[in-house]
Amino acid sequence: MPNLFSGINMAFRAIMSHQQAIETIQHNVANVNTPGYHRQEVVLQASAPTSNSYGLEHGMGAAQSGTGVEVDRIRRVTLEFFDTRYRFETSRQKRWDLESEILKQVEYTLAETSTDGLTKKLDQFWTGWQALSADPSNYSLRTNVRDLSVALTDAFNTRSVRLDMLRTDQDLTIRQRVDEINTIAEQLATLNGEISRVKSMNDQPNDYMDQRDLLLDRLAEIAGARAHYQDDGSVMVNISGYSIVTGNSFNAVETVTNAEGLLDIRWTTDGSKFNPADGELTGLFEARDVFIPQQKAGLDLLATELMSRINTVHQAGFGTNGATNVAFFEGTNAATIKVSSAIQSDLANIAASSVNGAAGDGENARLLFNVYQEEIMNGGTTTFNAYYNGQVTNFGIQVQRAVANAKDRKIVADALANQRESVSGVSLDEEAANLVKAQRAYQAATRLMNAFDEMLDRIINQTGMVGR
């Protein structure tokens, strides 16, 4: 009788254990397309044996008897090494992705591959002076010089303003990322508390850990966050050595306006500057605060040097009305350069002649045309056109480098994602095979239960033991 009851208990344990295995497989299959889900598996172990005093008393051998199977735990299949490597590479990829996107917008703003490029405007400006030098008294040619000059200054103005707008536009992205960082940090702190609580009860918070890892992936993409796993199951998260999540508490970040009127990010705890380790914010800040200012500074230098040289030559000449010492350009940089009001109001003020009263003399217009081949820029080694062409070429190289780096890092990140998925992802074929094994074991356990039930029925109801 004791063995019959222990057999029923053993069969019951087997039924419950393999039922848990089947339910876990169902959970895996249901989440096969869930982002961030890690495959789970039931770890079975032999349950604790019992002392077989009945067997010893009746000369039946062993002092202990097995009691069957039980669920040790539901294991979450993962490798922290792959998680760490994937986050490192994906943060670098996201940095170059965002940086290349912004640099492409700068490239579109400069528009040097179109017919509206600044280089083309410069060429037309020089050509206008060359034509005027041949017939300085021709007012149609004077009008042409003025109009080409206005087109050139408009090109400077437009590019400068658009670059400023492009820098300012990045503040919207910064605000969005700051809000996202704070939301993720708060969620991670909450999950840390839940995971630690469940772990303390000797249970497995697998689904909580999936949610947490998905948030860690995103925080790495934004700012290159690094996670350090603790013994209680929680994670400590830092960005550039500054802790953002510790246990169930977190440190928030906020935006502040800097001296240029643009947004920076600060830690709310001590007001220190937030420096992303990598990720989207690194690419954004590098594009906004390094590459765009470089292009704007190049435009400003070209505009100021062009104004200075053209004005110097122009002021030495004479207009058809005898006017001299007239500035051709006004302004201080690329954003403010314009054709002077004196030229705009009276075309006779255009100093095409080097001799007062000589209407047919176009010598000064020729000298103004010859400015195009003077080496003024880069310490007197480069012409205006060559300087700007060099700036555009170098920027094109920067854009291509960012695009190439984004592509290369994506290849590496994708390879690591595939490796990670091969370990922790759900394979429907594998789950189908495991399901068959679990079903067969479950069916065998139910047959065992039926066998013991029949044995007890025969002993109790068909041997007359009850009547006695």
**Residue 71: its pLDDT value, please?**
87
Q: What is the mean pLDDT of residues 33-54?
A: 84
Does residue 65 surpass a pLDDT of 80?
no
Chain centroid to CA 149: how far?
A: 42
Q: Angle at the Cα of 408 (from 405 to 413), degrees rounded to 5?
A: 115
If one compares 356 and 111, the residue with the highest pLDDT of the two is: 356
Beta bridge partners of 254: 266
Does residue 311 surpass a pLDDT of 70?
yes
d(Cα 91, Cα 36) in Å, to the nearest integer? Answer: 17
d(Cα 117, Cα 463) in Å, to the nearest integer? Answer: 106
- The band of 458, judged by pLDDT with boundaries at 50, 70 and 90, is confident
Phi, psi of 156 (to 5 degrees): -60, -50
Q: Name the burial class of residue 269, with classes exposed (0-12), middle (13-18) and buried (19+) by CB atoms within 10 angstroms of its CB.
A: exposed
Instruction: Choose the weakest-confidence range: 70-74, 145-149, 406-410.
Output: 70-74
Token pair in block for residue 140: 């149609």
Q: What is the mean pLDDT of residues 17-28?
A: 93
Cβ pair 284, 330 in contact under 8 A:
no
Token pair in block for residue 314: 């122009």
Cβ pair 330, 340 in contact under 8 A:
yes
Residue carrying structure tokens 């705890």: 269
Cβ pair 364, 352 in contact under 8 A:
yes
Q: What is the mean pLDDT of residues 323-336?
A: 96
Report H helices in 135-245. Answer: 139-200, 206-223
| Residues constituting the chain | 468
**Residue 48: its pLDDT value, please?**
83
Does residue 291 surpass a pLDDT of 90?
yes
Does residue 47 surpass a pLDDT of 90?
no
Name the DSSP letter for residue 349. G
Residue carrying structure tokens 């190049």: 298
**CA distances to 105, 169, 268, 325 from 273, in Å:** 27, 21, 10, 51
**Residue 468: its pLDDT value, please?**
45
Beta bridge partners of 255: 265
Does residue 467 surpass a pLDDT of 50?
no
**Residue 63: its pLDDT value, please?**
58
Encoded amino acid at 309, one letter: R
Encoded amino acid at 435, one letter: L
Q: What is the mean pLDDT of residues 123-142?
A: 95
Q: What is the mean pLDDT of residues 408-430?
A: 93
This prediction's pTM: 0.85
Give the burial string for 153-191 (b: 16+ CB within 10 Å, else e).
Answer: bebbbbbbebbeebbeebbebbeebbebbbebbebbbeb
Reduce the DSSP state of residue 268 to 3 states and report it. coil
Mean pLDDT score of the chain, rounded to an integer?
Answer: 91
Give the burial string for 246-268 (b: 16+ CB within 10 Å, else e).
Answer: bebebbebebeeeeeebbbbebe
Helices and strands, counts by H and E, the chain: 13, 12
- The band of 461, judged by pLDDT with boundaries at 50, 70 and 90, is confident
